[in-house]
C-alpha cells in the first residue's frame, strides 16, 4: 500500500508544479503586456506634449513650449528628437546654460553627431563665442551626413558658418571655408552668384569676379551677375571687362543709376589714358594735353576751396610744377614727356582728391588711370 501511495504523491506534486509554472508564466505575460502598454501610453503622451511644444514654439510662446517639451522628455527620456527640441526652446528662451548642459549631455556618447554639434554651434554663435562656434560648426560639417539632400544641407551649414565668420571679421578663415564650398559647388548661376557675393564680402575680389562671371555665362540675362562682374572687374582695374559687363547690365536695367555712373567712369578711363597701348603719337599727345588741362582746372578749383596751410602748400607746389612742365608738353612729342605729364596729372588728382574730396567723373577717371599706372613719376 505504501509503495502505491508514493507515485500518487509524486503525481500530485508534478501537477502542482505544472500549475504553478503556468500561473507564473501567465503572470509574467500579463506583467510584460502591462509594461508594454505603459510604455506605449507614455510614448503617446510624450508625442502629444511634443506636438504641443512644436505648435507653441511656432507661435512664439517660448516658455510654454519649454514646459511642453519638458513633459515630453519626462515621458520619453531616451528620445533624442524631444531632447533637442527642448534644448532649442531653452536657447530661444535665453536659458543658454541649461541648453548647453543638455546638449553636451547628449553629445557625450555621440561626439560626431551632426545635429547636436549644429545646435551647439548656433548656441555658441548666439553668445558671440567665436572659437567654440567654429569648433562645433566644423565638427558638424565633418560628421556623417545622412538622409535626403545631405550634400545641400551640408553646403547650407557651411554657408552659415561663413556668414558667421564674416560677421566677426574672421576673413582668412572665411576664405578657407569658401574655397571648400567652391570646390563642391553646383554649376548653376544662383550658386555662383551667391558665392561671388561672399567672396567679395571676404575681400577676395578676384574670386568674386570669377564666380560672378561664371554666373553671367550660365545666365546671360541675370542682371545681378552682370553687374557684379562689372563692379568686380572695375575694382580689379580691368576696365575693358568692366565696360563690357556694365553695358550689358545697363541694357537690362536702364534705371540703375549706380551702374550708369560706374560705366561712365570706366568708359572715361579707357578713353582718356594717354599711356594706353596701340595709340598713335598724335592720339597719345591729344589725350595728354586734354587730361593736363582738366587736372589744372581741378587744381585751381581745389586751391580756391581749401584754407589748410599744408594742403595749400602742396597744391601750390603742384601748380608751380605744372606751369614749368606746360611749355615742354606743348613742344615735345616723345614718350618720356608723355610719361612725365601722366605722372604729374596723377599727383595733382591724388592731392586734390585728398584735400577736396571726389571730383567729377573725369577727375575720378584720371585718378584711376594714375593708380593703374602706379603714379608714374617724371
DSSP per residue, 267-282: HHHHHH-TT-TT--HH
Give the separation between CA 123 and CA 137, rounded to whole angstroms.
11
Q: How confident is the model at residue 7 (pLDDT cuts 50, 70, 90)?
A: low
- Tell me the per-residue pLDDT of 127-145, one tens digit each, with 9 for 90 and over: 899 999 999 999 999 988 9
The angle at the Cα of 129, spanning 124 to 132, to the nearest 5 degrees, equals 70
Q: Write down the pLDDT at residue 108.
A: 87
Give the separation between CA 225 and CA 315, rounded to whole angstroms.
42
Mapping DSSP to helix (H, G, I), strand (E, B) and coil, where does residue 109 land? Answer: coil
Q: How confident is the model at residue 197 (pLDDT cuts 50, 70, 90)?
A: very high
Asked if the 21-109 domain carries CATH number 1.25.40, the reply is yes
Mean pLDDT on 249-254: 96
Q: Where are the domains of the chain?
A: 21-109, 281-372
Q: How far is CA 162 from CA 133, 140, 174, 181, 316, in A?
A: 12, 14, 5, 10, 49
The set of cell numbers assigned to 28 is 509574467
Q: Write down the pLDDT at residue 19.
A: 65
The contacts of residue 329 (CB under 8 Å, 6+ apart) are 288, 289, 292, 337, 341
Give the separation between CA 348 and CA 201, rounded to whole angstroms.
32
Q: Write down the pLDDT at residue 377.
A: 42
pTM for the predicted model, two decimal places:
0.77
Q: Write down the pLDDT at residue 79.
A: 74
Give the separation between CA 269 and CA 373, rounded to whole angstroms.
12
Q: Which of 2-16, 38-52, 97-111, 334-348 has the lowest mean pLDDT?
A: 2-16
Give the separation between CA 117 and CA 15, rounded to whole angstroms.
62
Q: Write down the pLDDT at residue 372.
A: 85
Mapping DSSP to helix (H, G, I), strand (E, B) and coil, where does residue 210 land? Answer: helix
The contacts of residue 218 (CB under 8 Å, 6+ apart) are 187, 188, 189, 192
Q: How confident is the model at residue 99 (pLDDT cuts 50, 70, 90)?
A: confident
Q: Write down the pLDDT at residue 142.
A: 92
Q: Write down the pLDDT at residue 228.
A: 97
- pLDDT mean across residues, the chain: 86
Q: How far is CA 195 from CA 76, 186, 209, 295, in A?
A: 43, 11, 10, 40
Mean pLDDT on 290-301: 93
Mean pLDDT on 70-76: 74
Q: Write down the pLDDT at residue 41.
A: 58
Q: Write down the pLDDT at residue 200.
A: 97
Q: Write down the pLDDT at residue 36.
A: 55
The angle at the Cα of 322, spanning 316 to 327, to the nearest 5 degrees, equals 145
Mean pLDDT on 276-282: 89
| Helix segments in the chain, DSSP class H | 2-58, 62-75, 80-92, 96-107, 114-126, 130-141, 150-167, 171-183, 189-201, 205-218, 223-235, 239-252, 257-272, 281-305, 309-331, 335-356, 361-372
Q: Which of 1-10, 12-21, 113-122, 351-360 has the lowest mean pLDDT?
A: 1-10
Asked if the model's pLDDT at residue 238 lies above 80, the reply is yes
Mean pLDDT on 22-43: 60
- Tell me the per-residue pLDDT of 331-368, one tens digit each, with 9 for 90 and over: 877 888 888 889 999 999 999 999 999 889 999 999 99
Q: Write down the pLDDT at residue 70.
A: 77
For residue 360, count CB atoms less than 10 angstroms from its CB and return exposed for 0-12, middle for 13-18, buried for 19 or more.
Answer: middle
307-315's contacts with Cβ under 8 Å and 24+ in sequence apart are 308/355, 311/351, 311/354, 311/355, 314/351, 314/355, 315/351, 315/352, 315/355
Asked if the model's pLDDT at residue 299 lies above 60, the reply is yes
Q: How confident is the model at residue 375 (pLDDT cuts 50, 70, 90)?
A: very low
Q: How confident is the model at residue 376 (pLDDT cuts 50, 70, 90)?
A: very low
- Tell me the per-residue pLDDT of 211-228, one tens digit each, with 9 for 90 and over: 999 999 999 999 999 999
Give the separation between CA 338 and CA 373, rounded to whole angstroms.
13
Amino acid at each position: 500500500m505504501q509503495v502505491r501511495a508514493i507515485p500518487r504523491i509524486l503525481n500530485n506534486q508534478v501537477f502542482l508544479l505544472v500549475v504553478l509554472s503556468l500561473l507564473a508564466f501567465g503572470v509574467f505575460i500579463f506583467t510584460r503586456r502591462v509594461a508594454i502598454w505603459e510604455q506605449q501610453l507614455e510614448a503617446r503622451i510624450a508625442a502629444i506634449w511634443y506636438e504641443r511644444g512644436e505648435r507653441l514654439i511656432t507661435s512664439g510662446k517660448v516658455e510654454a513650449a519649454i514646459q511642453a517639451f519638458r513633459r515630453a522628455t519626462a515621458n520619453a527620456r531616451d528620445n533624442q528628437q524631444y531632447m533637442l527640441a527642448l534644448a532649442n526652446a531653452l536657447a530661444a528662451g535665453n536659458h543658454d546654460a541649461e541648453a548647453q548642459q543638455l546638449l553636451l549631455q547628449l553629445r557625450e556618447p555621440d561626439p560626431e553627431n551632426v545635429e547636436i554639434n549644429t545646435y551647439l554651434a548656433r548656441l555658441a554663435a548666439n553668445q558671440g563665442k567665436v572659437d567654440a562656434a567654429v569648433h562645433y560648426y566644423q565638427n558638424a560639417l565633418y560628421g556623417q551626413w545622412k538622409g535626403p539632400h545631405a550634400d545641400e544641407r551640408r553646403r547650407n551649414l557651411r554657408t552659415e558658418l561663413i556668414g558667421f565668420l564674416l560677421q566677426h571679421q574672421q576673413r582668412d578663415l572665411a576664405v578657407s571655408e569658401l574655397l571648400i564650398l567652391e570646390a563642391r559647388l553646383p554649376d548653376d548661376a544662383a550658386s555662383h552668384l551667391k558665392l561671388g557675393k561672399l567672396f567679395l564680402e571676404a575681400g577676395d575680389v578676384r574670386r568674386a569676379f570669377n564666380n560672378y562671371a561664371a554666373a553671367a555665362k550660365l545666365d546671360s540675362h541675370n542682371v545681378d551677375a552682370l553687374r557684379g562682374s562689372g563692379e568686380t572687374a572695375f575694382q580689379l582695374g580691368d576696365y575693358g571687362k568692366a565696360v563690357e559687363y556694365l553695358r550689358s547690365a545697363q541694357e537690362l536695367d536702364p534705371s540703375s543709376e549706380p551702374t550708369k555712373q560706374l560705366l561712365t567712369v570706366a568708359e572715361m578711363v579707357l578713353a582718356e589714358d594717354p599711356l594706353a597701348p596701340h595709340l598713335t603719337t598724335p592720339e597719345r599727345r591729344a589725350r595728354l594735353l586734354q587730361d593736363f588741362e582738366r587736372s589744372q582746372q581741378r587744381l585751381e578749383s581745389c586751391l580756391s576751396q581749401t584754407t589748410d596751410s599744408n594742403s595749400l602748400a602742396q597744391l601750390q607746389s603742384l601748380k608751380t610744377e605744372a606751369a614749368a612742365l606746360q611749355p615742354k608738353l606743348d613742344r615735345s612729342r616723345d614718350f618720356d614727356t608723355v610719361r612725365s605729364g601722366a605722372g604729374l596729372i596723377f599727383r595733382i588728382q591724388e592731392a586734390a582728391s585728398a584735400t577736396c574730396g571726389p571730383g567729377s567723373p573725369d577727375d575720378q577717371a584720371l585718378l584711376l588711370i594714375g593708380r593703374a599706372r602706379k603714379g608714374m613719376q617724371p
